[in-house]
Amino acid sequence: MSDTLEHRVGEVTLTVAGPDGRPLAERDVTVAQQRHAFAFGNIGFDFVDLVGGADVAALDRLGALWLRLFNTATLPFYWGGYEPRRGSPDAERLARTARWFAERGVTVKGHPLVWHTVQPEWLLGLDLDEVERLQRARIRDVVGGFAGLIDLWDAINEAVIMPVFDNGDNAITPLARARGRIHMVRMAFEEARAANPSATLVLNDFDLSSAYECLIEGVLEAGVRIDAIGLQTHMHQGYRGEEAMWHTLDRFARYGLPLHMTETTLVSGHLMPPEIVDLNDYQIPEWPTTPEGEARQADDITRHYRSLVAHPAVQSINYWGITDEGAWLGAPAGLVRKDGSPKPAYEALDALINGEWWLKPTPMRTTADGTLTVSGFHGEYSLTADGHTLPFTITPTPRTIPVTLAV
Amino acid sequence: MSDTLEHRVGEVTLTVAGPDGRPLAERDVTVAQQRHAFAFGNIGFDFVDLVGGADVAALDRLGALWLRLFNTATLPFYWGGYEPRRGSPDAERLARTARWFAERGVTVKGHPLVWHTVQPEWLLGLDLDEVERLQRARIRDVVGGFAGLIDLWDAINEAVIMPVFDNGDNAITPLARARGRIHMVRMAFEEARAANPSATLVLNDFDLSSAYECLIEGVLEAGVRIDAIGLQTHMHQGYRGEEAMWHTLDRFARYGLPLHMTETTLVSGHLMPPEIVDLNDYQIPEWPTTPEGEARQADDITRHYRSLVAHPAVQSINYWGITDEGAWLGAPAGLVRKDGSPKPAYEALDALINGEWWLKPTPMRTTADGTLTVSGFHGEYSLTADGHTLPFTITPTPRTIPVTLAV
């Protein structure tokens, strides 16, 4: 495992000129980071009800906490939740929520287009051809309908287990069993690609064993173009540690595709017993957050994010939950307690994303030639001088760019 | 699970005529099975030393025990054992052993063409292109050289773990890691197919998880033609039971390819502890066969063979070892003790293969038209009448065939 972050950090040289085009020599300026290029994400599921809802104060409170840390929001497009009655999709609420995020500079992601869980009741009992036709139509409708607002999708979720899934009746498992996993993956990617050619499409799975490697190799060999490999890590049973994570990352990095850590969970209460195989099978009435658990969660999240950001193949980390209120499985996996107060894990992430990995507003001075060299995490920055503020970016390639203050 | 064996049993109607072509009406004849179409196999590794060796009595003893039960012999073509010195393959001894079996009506199988274990030392340190070139040449040489004598091969062994195998340095794992599993499978099958177009080529693995399904789906999607899916079941840690086995068989049967149970082991001593993951990691000085273990092995082998033969997709069962002498891992997995005496499991298999599933010499009588209907397991049979013996076969399709006694 590497400790260097050189793959995350870039350098840019600005040649700063005044409104008359002449270099601003030896001038005091302020440089500040505005946004990470790296996708620090979280789910935005809570906001589907909050945005446009009656409780504006609640939206403001949770929104402020959410927006302080994250730049990428995953919204729920589970078929059964999105279209519980055939032909009546929840498109308007989702679009309103997506716009709320987009207007605040947040990249919006949709999750997932094809999955065997959270399925609509009305799909059961239809024949396979009809199920496939409806599934294809749904992908086109959703991806095409949201193009421009949402250009990042989990195209298919958990294809490894899809044909042999036995934890609930659904119409997708029989289709996957009859047609094969690669057929399902191709269907998801080809329909989504056709509906939005500029979308980034992710293959997403929780199974990080050799099975997923074999699936990926088959999919690539079959000529299906995938844009990123999604790796879920719901660690309700405990943090897996840097070494194990890097071993996993290395195994999937060898396909030369970006790795998206799509679903990241660490709990701040007792750990789920190790013998549970399907996390959904562990349902308890109360799963409280505890001081010890919160300390562990904060420590784990720091170690985990450090090790992921240190791996060159990782392009995004999406945490799975902002508040414990209504969290998946009732687990205290949020970064914010039910009462709305931030946990230590929230502060720990803040210290990384907005502290150690962030360039705060910093006074700098141009040279006699009017140049200024800035280094920092890849992302968006601003230069302020003489009351003017101008944007620039830091990318992996060192560059010299002219910045001219407006008249 | 089905109890019926109707997929194993066929019927044929013989019209029996004398040398003059006239029907032999109401004639006493004897019908007897000669061979099973189903492949009941075992390894023939011990015979590589025995055939052509000095101890003819030992060959006769073990040979008689082996030949009484089995009609298919797997011979070892591990690269490291077959060609320990580059350019000096052990071809002559293997050919002599193969001929010994073939002359006795036994189908000979070679195992395996590509694997990452039992590798020659001299392959280490060569660059990947050279390793692939040599691997391809080996496949062509072996399969082409033995064509006609051996037309059944494990083309590639354990491709699921191949690129991530870490239990010993070898030249094949880095090749698989760089080129991918499907490339390795395609290489094995295409080279072998080109060298012997009529060969039956098997994809073989011990990993029966979803990973193997994903690999198979990728391989089929990539257009590689495989003739059979090989499933290893080394059950040193105990018989898995009919239900689990059938669940596994059903998962792999859905690809529409014959299933070959390539490596079947059940021990007649204590079981290997369940926490062992790689069976090779369990090495003890003495692993004795015991009366209780022998009774369990006999019971398990009966249940196992019954359930496998009952599954329509299974085309062969290969047991992995005839005698405990020199058995893999020192395990008492043989059907014969080190002193050469048959264990109860041997007798149990004999009772199935040569008893319950076998048509012993049976007196029958032709009709007034000279016809005779025989039903039995698919395979080769003989009809004896008037001192003449003639062969016929029972196949899945009911037929009427003329049998004319020679002059």
Q: Is the minimum CB–CB distance between A214 and chain B shorter than 8 Å?
A: yes
Residue B405's pLDDT is 83
User: Tens of pLDDT along A226-267?
Assistant: 999 999 999 999 999 999 999 999 999 999 999 999 999 999
> Would residue B174 count as lying in a domain?
yes
> CB-CB: which of A177, A211, A222 is closest to B209?
A211
Q: Is the pLDDT of residue B202 over 60?
A: yes
Q: Is the pLDDT of residue B58 over 70?
A: yes
Closest CA to A205 of A183, A226, A232, A228: A232
> Choosing among B183, B184, B217, which should be mutated to test the A contact, i.e. which has the most A CBs within 10 A?
B217
B212: which chain A residues are within 8 Å (Cβ-Cβ)? 214
Q: Is the minimum CB–CB distance between A145 and chain B shorter than 8 Å?
A: no
Q: Which residue has the tokens 């970016």?
A: A393
Do A76 and A47 contact (CB within 8 A), yes or no? no
> Would residue A308 count as lying in a domain?
yes
> Choosing among B156, B189, B210, B243, which should be mutated to test the A contact, i.e. which has the most A CBs within 10 A?
B210
Q: What is this structure's pTM?
A: 0.91
Query: Measured in whole angstroms, how far is the alpha carbon of residue A146 from the centre of its chain?
Result: 17
Taking an 8 Å cut-off on Cβ atoms, the answer to whether A218 and B221 are in contact is yes
> Would residue A294 count as lying in a domain?
yes
The Cα B369–Cα B211 span in angstroms is 58
Structural domains of chain B, count? 2
Q: Is the pLDDT of residue A220 over 90?
A: yes
Whether A184 and A326 share a structural domain: yes
Whether A259 and A352 share a structural domain: yes
Q: Is the pLDDT of residue B3 over 70?
A: no
Q: Is the minimum CB–CB distance between B210 and chain A shorter than 8 Å?
A: yes
Whether A120 and A252 share a structural domain: yes
Whether A42 and A13 share a structural domain: no
Taking an 8 Å cut-off on Cβ atoms, the answer to whether B218 and A219 are in contact is yes
Taking an 8 Å cut-off on Cβ atoms, the answer to whether B215 and A219 are in contact is no
In B112-163 the beta strands, taken as DSSP E runs, fall at 152-157
Taking an 8 Å cut-off on Cβ atoms, the answer to whether B222 and A218 are in contact is yes
Taking an 8 Å cut-off on Cβ atoms, the answer to whether B177 and A214 are in contact is no
A214: which chain B residues are within 8 Å (Cβ-Cβ)? 160, 181, 211-212, 214-215, 218
Mean pLDDT along residues A204-216: 97
* ipTM of the complex, rounded to two decimals: 0.86
Residue B168's pLDDT is 86
Residue B386's pLDDT is 85
Residue B157: φ, ψ to 5°: -115, 125
Whether A289 and A195 share a structural domain: yes
Q: Is the minimum CB–CB distance between A218 and chain B shorter than 8 Å?
A: yes
Residue B230: which CATH number?
3.20.20.80
Residue B115's pLDDT is 98
A176: which chain B residues are within 8 Å (Cβ-Cβ)? none
Q: Is the minimum CB–CB distance between A217 and chain B shorter than 8 Å?
A: yes
> Would residue B333 count as lying in a domain?
yes
Q: Is the pLDDT of residue B341 over 90?
A: yes
Mean pLDDT along residues B264-278: 95
Q: Following CA atoms A94, A96, A101, A104 in sequence, which dihedral angle do they give, to the nearest 10 degrees?
A: 170
Q: Is the minimum CB–CB distance between B217 and chain A shorter than 8 Å?
A: yes
Taking an 8 Å cut-off on Cβ atoms, the answer to whether A219 and B222 are in contact is no
Whether A257 and A392 share a structural domain: no
Q: Is the pLDDT of residue A142 over 80?
A: yes
Whether A129 and A201 share a structural domain: yes
Q: Is the minimum CB–CB distance between B251 and chain A shorter than 8 Å?
A: yes
Q: Is the pLDDT of residue A1 over 60?
A: no
Q: Is the pLDDT of residue B108 over 80?
A: yes
How do strand B399-404 and strand B362-365 relate by DSSP bridges?
unpaired
State how far the alpha carbon of B159 is from the alpha carbons of A2, B41, B155, in Å: 30, 23, 10
Residue B42's pLDDT is 98
Residue B400: which CATH number?
2.60.40.10
Q: Is the minimum CB–CB distance between A251 and chain B shorter than 8 Å?
A: yes
Q: Is the pLDDT of residue B1 over 70?
A: no
> Would residue A361 count as lying in a domain?
no
> Would residue B376 count as lying in a domain?
yes
Q: Is the pLDDT of residue A400 over 80?
A: yes
User: Tens of pLDDT along A287-345?
Assistant: 999 999 999 999 999 999 999 999 999 999 999 999 999 899 999 999 999 999 999 99
The structure tokens listed for B251 are: 């998962």
Residue A74's pLDDT is 98
Mean pLDDT along residues A105-128: 97
> CB-CB: which of A161, A164, A182 is closest to B217?
A182
**Quick one: what percent of chain B has pLDDT higher than 70?**
99
Taking an 8 Å cut-off on Cβ atoms, the answer to whether A221 and B217 are in contact is no
Do B338 and B330 contact (CB within 8 A), yes or no? no
Q: Is the minimum CB–CB distance between B7 and chain A shorter than 8 Å?
A: no
Using alpha carbons only, what angle is made at residue B154 by residues B100 and B179, rounded to the nearest 5 degrees? 145
Whether A373 and A349 share a structural domain: no
Domain hosting residue A50, numbered range: 38-356
Q: pLDDT tier at B2 (50, 70, 90 boundaries)?
A: low
Q: Is the minimum CB–CB distance between B177 and chain A shorter than 8 Å?
A: yes
> Would residue B258 count as lying in a domain?
yes
Residue A3's pLDDT is 63
> Would residue A140 count as lying in a domain?
yes
Whether A132 and A276 share a structural domain: yes
Whether A297 and A329 share a structural domain: yes
Q: Following CA atoms A223, A226, A228, A231 in sequence, which dihedral angle do they give, to the nearest 10 degrees?
A: -80
Whether B51 and B84 share a structural domain: yes
User: Tens of pLDDT along A358-397?
Assistant: 999 999 999 999 999 999 999 999 999 988 999 999 999 9
Q: What is the mean pLDDT of chain A?
A: 96
Whether A20 and A83 share a structural domain: no
Do A237 and A271 contact (CB within 8 A), yes or no? yes
